[in-house]
Structure 1
């Protein structure tokens, strides 16, 4: 049979041929997915050798054909284009126009300040865009490693970029998988695929041929780029490189996803557009009115521009930036690091949080919670990989059936090699271990038949190997068992590694006595270990016939609590025994106990879920783990989920739901298990199509596209991959769901404070513009000059308005429902209040100006009084704006000390403006008397009372 050259389409994964795994796709109608082919067919298809690999000449030819093993880089906008995009905002246009106008007016300092505001905001936006693009760069670095390959029958180490389809890659524990591989041989190979699939436990691999429709997470005969080998060895043929790998598909998804604009960005854009139109309309009216009064066009143009300057809220961009920055600092104190400023407020608008399970709702640290021996039940306290905790007897969950005649039958179990019985000594600071020999042998067996290791790093513990085995090491440590002492005296001589067919691991340990052949420890699946056992150990270390029904009943009771259960057993081999084998063990082992473990829910998770639900924020769990595990954890944290009721859905369920019904189904469900990266994207999109502002948490490479698609992407700082962190908007330094709830609270406070600033600043800007407009319409003298308007706007925005950014959270913040995403920045009630204060300012300024002139004051003095009236009303109104619903006298006067500092600074500035000759000359002001100050303060107090009445009347409108 003639060999054919592998076409490019022959080197594709099942996903690339057809998302359903059917094995057909564009340009490849016949080749099935590699996980559905026997090894010899994969070898034939890729024209390689499963023992010798490719020769160097063929490698060079294929590299020229297929390229290097790296993810494709997308086209990026240049620096000039990125900077230009930051100016695409109506408010920025108005500010730039204001800067030009102030130059024409000769106010170069004000022009420079306005330009500085624009440039600062432009720089912030530019930095945000550059950092967002780093998500794709992180994917490139993820696959940069070295690989051991067979080429021409020789073992070589090459950069992972040099791999080509058909290469034979050799792997061992600790290696990162450099490309998508079809396994050709292996030994006890286990792989951590959590970063790609979300599966919390390392996956045992084998070479069995799988159905074409097998999803990625269940393809046991495949290894995927970016995953990590935790145990065993293996060899695989490269079937996909670079952008054709499963990791490449995630890269493509990320490149196709455009970050969603935040609610604040959208609302500010609409607000800026409306404000721009209103300002230009007022300026046009003023210009036309002046012409109608016979004024010169040039003079009227200057006056119209002055009106526009007065109406522009120059401090708004700075206020937004400062308020968000303060929110960022507060969130950092609560262990949430913000990467993009606007998302601080977006969290406050969040209507649904889609959270990963592992590490967010749970500790991401496998922990033994219960132990069972033929003599009793035991609880294990403490969580994580630290040795702190106790082992104490507990009430049996099922009554253990007794042997019919109560006999204590010896099973020929001897103490191995004369070694001292393990345990029995109290753990430092803990109560003594219960006197149950079976418990002590079970704990020692689980720790000795073990390839994991734990070491302390800084304030935490670092695990190398299988988390399940690490949990058994920790349990032995809590019992005070000196595992290393036993291993030093009884070193491992042989082992049967865990395989998916065998489903148990066995180790043989040497004896110190010549008449003993050593001790065998076994741990594994309960049913498989039971097949090896003829006896069980009682509390005194003696043997008796194994009670299979009691063992299985205990295992089922533990499994019903969502715990993963492993059995332990042991035996002493006589001297001269043959090599260790499964056949040699069958029917000769003695069962010592059961270990029940899980990844425990975080202590604060349930309270945080309840707080979110009370605040009207929906919480959903999206995980790559099994549905039963997900439902168990969901119940523990307060999320009701049931597969039969449609509130728990798997990835297969989602694929079966028609597209038009998907949003409704996603809305109803609370748990989504065994979902792929594409399905996570669909879930987020479905929620957004229902009008939700969605926050998404994740830690793996598989989460990155959905993190970028979500309104707020939240990654895990401790357990998260760099890809997930770079794709996210917020990084949790403690990986805790409770931190998300705290961040939502801070986000709501940020939006509150931004709204307070806008409600505070708009009346002044509107009134300044209207004062000039009225003067033009009446053909009268201007009560305030453009330079005085700029003084008011710039000084009060910094000294007064920005102080609202430090306003603490109001009571009941997390008892409100989320703001509807389509709700405008200002409600009708707040709009009425803005108009009310504006009208009072216009009327008060005109009355005061005319009164001062009528009573003999100069025009400069009258204008000075009007300027001080504007500032005085702003000061009184500032205290009212500390709460948009409660009256000012019900707010703690010293709750915001920065506000008091700002008022004192502004008062000093006003006194300097009024009484210093330098300021009088610059701003055309003049000293005024005490009677003028009394009138100013009286009008400001009147405006404050009017706002209090409005709050009283309109409280229900907020």
Structure 2
């Protein structure tokens, strides 16, 4: 039997404690030695050295380090140092970005309350929370953080904010009554849990679990067990790197064997093979990918998304499911009065949302002036006076609520009509308040006016308030209540509730003398009888306006939005329907509670998974189960959360998204991305950016590989034909690291292509280079090789030039060919002239810088010696430019002829 099911006497007996005196100091020490200190285990953290070295574990980076070592052994120190410099720079960029986004948090430890008020040896004493043991009797008051899991044994108007644990957005009324069966955490009204916060009242409670045995401890354990897998981009790059190295190794082996068979020396053939290896591997690719991701991170900051780990940027582009929390992400987390039922039978609509003062009152399409409607004005005054909360002006016509969100909604509704609580209190003297209680389900405030009259205002559950009323406010004055009046009120209550609105009834009473105010326990106080019924207020947490468009955009992009919440099923479905996350109809969507999920077999759940769009009343284990099920289907899932209960699922998800404003430190720690505005729309914007980043990475790979294919073919054809080497290793390295790297980074600056959110998500197993793109790259690389070899052969055999002059021209043609070719890679289908030749300023500057650098390299003596080149004449430069522009000219003709999209190329 769970602690919540046991009555107080049974709890005290089972814990072997005393409800009045608590534990003795000796007994507490003995229990601490058995159960251990009341602390959560701290998560192990990687040192900065380990974090830095992790950036050198990717396969292609290891290959580059190996190439640098071989170059060093062969005495090619310039090559070796250049490769290592680019590898270290790549690691530094990734490390710095990680350090920026990940503060070293001790979130789980912080959630443990530092001290507690416990009964020891019969005396109330402040002790360290870590010293609490099962059986301790503690006192909890407003403002306290609950120091352990406890069973409440005494409660006085006691409320706890459990949002960090359960996701429940409202403070929970607590009592001492045992529940009949094991309920979800959010419904265990006689329990208080570690890390939650007391917002109202006072209680005495018995500690039933400490440390890792608490609900928070169980979450910490789940968090440590959740797996972190490589992102789709990391997997694809690793696979791509392996294929590249295998291909390069095969080509090198073929060239080496052919050379030996043709009588070449072993050393010469080995050097040739090394040159080919250098040509085959795009040394700048890791750095280009890292910089592309880093630039994407910077752009995402402007779209209210902070990325903690670079590869996560691109993973967003593959997302096929977004599992979102309801409160604060899909909704505004600001309770708002939506409709008012007056005792006269009128239903008044209230415009506006959240705590903004914008909006008025209407009946159908006609506006309603509160000053001309006494019944409306009176119920708004009652809502402002039967209230323990305050409004604080935060500028921009918006308000901040200090206190209960429901009471804040009543105050905002009043302010829309010009009713200010402060103005009302100027002519009244506060007498007493009977706070809201879970048993009574009502609250009453009493005031005395300047004439000595007493006025009480009561709000609460309609089923409790209406039977206490002897009159209704109708036709501008109280009238005796009839059965018809009561039935109309309860019918309106049912209608409001069916729309997932929280409904409060309001009533008042006036007297020329003081009211009898003795406490009636769970029953109404005498002053809460013979009330005048004023009406009902229906309120809800409205959806964010921008979420409607974001959900539509997600659906158009082939992304399935689902809602996972700790709230009630009826409320969750109503909001999901309003946002078009949940669709009715034959074979339509389904909603599920955590309890129903527990009763399903794994096979049944997997079968129904695609149709389940709303999950309500779920716990951390349920959220993990949902995430794992979607991943098992092969989907890429982004999961949002703000409470500690969300942390394990966030860590397990492909993309864990924490809330920056309302999120706990634990969820931020477990997440891959933090939303700085807590907005679902920002997730969809981040998905769009992720898709664009992958597109830009693919463009960079297209450019780099087609260039490398050109280099390989130049060396391969020259070797097979028995020609001298057209390119030297140092020249190839310059081409790969510098002249190719800068334009590839320029491609990373390409803007979002039209229609990027009209395509379905990419298959996570889809490679960076598909077959269509590979064919295009091979043909483009072959044409670059043809242009380079044509100029080399013409200079060497036709113009009878020296080998070094022919190599200089081949080297320059290759570099310039590739720079013209980079404009082809901006789009496989659209002409660069349609895109705008000057629309990508970064790319243009990169190309101009390389042209200038190559010019200096050819004509500065010190550089000539390093790169083994000679000066070129005007005629030579004319030939170079003519040959180099051919790849761009050819592709522009091809694009002009064939404007139909080719699947898989872009």
CA contact (8 A) 1:913 1:919 kept: yes
Question: What residue number does 2:511 align with?
Answer: 573
Question: What residue number does 2:5 align with?
Answer: 36
Q: 2:629 aligns with which of 686, 709, 713?
A: 686
Given the superposition, is the C-alpha separation of residues 191 and 243 from structure 1 closer, same or farther in structure 2, using an over 3 Å criterion? same
Given the superposition, is the C-alpha separation of residues 202 and 577 from structure 1 closer, same or farther in structure 2, using an over 3 Å criterion? closer
Given the superposition, is the C-alpha separation of residues 478 and 109 from structure 1 closer, same or farther in structure 2, using an over 3 Å criterion? farther
5 Å matches for 1:163-312? 163-312=132-281
Question: What residue number does 2:379 align with?
Answer: 442
5 Å matches for 1:461-540? 461-514=399-452, 516=453, 518-540=454-476
Q: Is it true that 1:625 corresponds to 2:567 in the alignment? A: yes
Given the superposition, is the C-alpha separation of residues 458 and 476 from structure 1 closer, same or farther in structure 2, using an over 3 Å criterion? closer
Report the Cα distance in structure 1 between the residues aligned to 2:749 and 2:314, rounded to whole angstroms. 15
Question: What residue number does 1:717 align with?
Answer: 660
Report the Cα distance in structure 1 between the residues aligned to 2:514 and 2:648, rounded to whole angstroms. 59
Given the superposition, is the C-alpha separation of residues 903 and 133 from structure 1 closer, same or farther in structure 2, using an over 3 Å criterion? closer
Q: In the comparison of the two structures, how many residue pairs are matched?
A: 892
Of 533-542 and 854-863, more deviation after overlay is shown by 533-542
5 Å matches for 1:932-947? 932-947=876-891
Of 570-579 and 757-766, more deviation after overlay is shown by 570-579
Question: What residue number does 1:793 align with?
Answer: 736
Question: What residue number does 1:607 align with?
Answer: 549
Tell me the CA shift for residue 646 of structure 1.
Answer: 5.5
CA contact (8 A) 1:180 1:238 kept: yes
CA contact (8 A) 1:357 1:630 kept: yes
5 Å matches for 1:324-335? 324-335=293-304
Q: Deviations over 1:857-890 (max 9, x none)?
A: 2212211111111122212211111113323332
Tell me the CA shift for residue 698 of structure 1.
Answer: 1.0
Report the Cα distance in structure 2 between the residues aligned to 1:795 and 1:80, rounded to whole angstroms. 28
Tell me the CA shift for residue 251 of structure 1.
Answer: 0.6
CA contact (8 A) 2:22 2:135 kept: yes
Tell me the CA shift for residue 131 of structure 1.
Answer: 9.0
Question: What residue number does 2:706 align with?
Answer: 763
Tell me the CA shift for residue 528 of structure 1.
Answer: 0.6
Unaligned runs of 5+ in 1: 1-31, 398-429
Question: What residue number does 1:906 align with?
Answer: 850
Tell me the CA shift for residue 921 of structure 1.
Answer: 1.8
Of 142-151 and 769-778, more deviation after overlay is shown by 769-778
Question: What residue number does 1:382 align with?
Answer: 352
Question: What residue number does 1:46 align with?
Answer: 15
CA contact (8 A) 1:147 1:160 kept: yes
Given the superposition, is the C-alpha separation of residues 133 and 504 from structure 1 closer, same or farther in structure 2, using an over 3 Å criterion? same
Tell me the CA shift for residue 245 of structure 1.
Answer: 0.7
Q: Is it true that 1:887 corresponds to 2:831 in the alignment? A: yes
Report the Cα distance in structure 1 between the residues aligned to 2:526 and 2:96, rounded to whole angstroms. 66
Report the Cα distance in structure 1 between the residues aligned to 2:581 and 2:242, rounded to whole angstroms. 42
CA contact (8 A) 2:98 2:309 kept: no
Q: Deviations over 1:456-493 (max 9, x none)?
A: 56887543432111211222222222322433543333
Tell me the CA shift for residue 94 of structure 1.
Answer: 1.4
Question: What residue number does 1:665 align with?
Answer: 608
Question: What residue number does 1:425 align with?
Answer: none
Q: Is it true that 1:647 corresponds to 2:584 in the alignment? A: no
Question: What residue number does 2:902 align with?
Answer: 956
TM-score by length of structure 2 reads 0.94
Q: CA RMSD in A?
A: 2.5
Question: What residue number does 1:674 align with?
Answer: 617
SS in structure 2 opposite 1:806?
Answer: coil
Q: Is it true that 1:706 corresponds to 2:649 in the alignment? A: yes
Of 285-294 and 661-670, more deviation after overlay is shown by 285-294
Of 734-743 and 501-510, more deviation after overlay is shown by 501-510
Question: What residue number does 2:747 align with?
Answer: 804
SS in structure 2 opposite 1:621?
Answer: strand
SS in structure 2 opposite 1:800?
Answer: helix
Of 819-828 and 793-802, more deviation after overlay is shown by 793-802
CA contact (8 A) 1:131 1:726 kept: no
Tell me the CA shift for residue 949 of structure 1.
Answer: 6.0
SS in structure 1 opposite 2:371?
Answer: coil
CA contact (8 A) 1:390 1:431 kept: no
Question: What residue number does 1:314 align with?
Answer: 283
Report the Cα distance in structure 2 between the residues aligned to 1:173 and 1:243, rounded to whole angstroms. 25
CA contact (8 A) 2:361 2:369 kept: no
Q: Deviations over 1:382-430 (max 9, x none)?
A: 32224x1243231399xxxxxxxxxxxxxxxxxxxxxxxxxxxxxxxx9
Tell me the CA shift for residue 48 of structure 1.
Answer: 1.4
Tell me the CA shift for residue 792 of structure 1.
Answer: 1.2
Report the Cα distance in structure 2 between the residues aligned to 1:576 and 1:315, rounded to whole angstroms. 85
Question: What residue number does 2:313 align with?
Answer: 344
CA contact (8 A) 2:105 2:665 kept: no
Of 556-565 and 939-948, more deviation after overlay is shown by 939-948
SS in structure 2 opposite 1:696?
Answer: strand
Q: 1:562 aligns with which of 500, 516, 519?
A: 500
Q: Deviations over 1:227-284 (max 9, x none)?
A: 1222222121111111111111111111001223211111111101111211222222
SS in structure 1 opposite 2:169?
Answer: coil
Report the Cα distance in structure 2 between the residues aligned to 1:664 and 1:241, rounded to whole angstroms. 39
Question: What residue number does 1:363 align with?
Answer: 332
Tell me the CA shift for residue 57 of structure 1.
Answer: 2.2
Tell me the CA shift for residue 611 of structure 1.
Answer: 0.6
Report the Cα distance in structure 1 between the residues aligned to 2:189 and 2:271, rounded to whole angstroms. 76
Question: What residue number does 1:592 align with?
Answer: 534
TM-score by length of structure 1 reads 0.89
Question: What residue number does 1:872 align with?
Answer: 816
Tell me the CA shift for residue 535 of structure 1.
Answer: 0.8
Report the Cα distance in structure 2 between the residues aligned to 1:259 and 1:334, rounded to whole angstroms. 26
Tell me the CA shift for residue 75 of structure 1.
Answer: 4.9
* Structure 1 segments of 4+ aligned residues over 4 angstroms from their partners: 74-85, 104-107, 123-136, 456-462, 641-646, 948-951
CA contact (8 A) 1:182 1:223 kept: yes
Question: What residue number does 2:106 align with?
Answer: 137
Given the superposition, is the C-alpha separation of residues 798 and 456 from structure 1 closer, same or farther in structure 2, using an over 3 Å criterion? farther
Q: Deviations over 1:68-94 (max 9, x none)?
A: 211113555666655554433220121
Report the Cα distance in structure 2 between the residues aligned to 1:184 and 1:127, rounded to whole angstroms. 52
CA contact (8 A) 1:508 1:520 kept: yes
Q: 1:732 aligns with which of 667, 675, 689?
A: 675
Question: What residue number does 1:842 align with?
Answer: 785
Given the superposition, is the C-alpha separation of residues 121 and 798 from structure 1 closer, same or farther in structure 2, using an over 3 Å criterion? closer
Of 480-489 and 731-740, more deviation after overlay is shown by 480-489
Report the Cα distance in structure 2 between the residues aligned to 1:578 and 1:167, rounded to whole angstroms. 39
Of 867-876 and 775-784, more deviation after overlay is shown by 775-784
Given the superposition, is the C-alpha separation of residues 858 and 611 from structure 1 closer, same or farther in structure 2, using an over 3 Å criterion? same
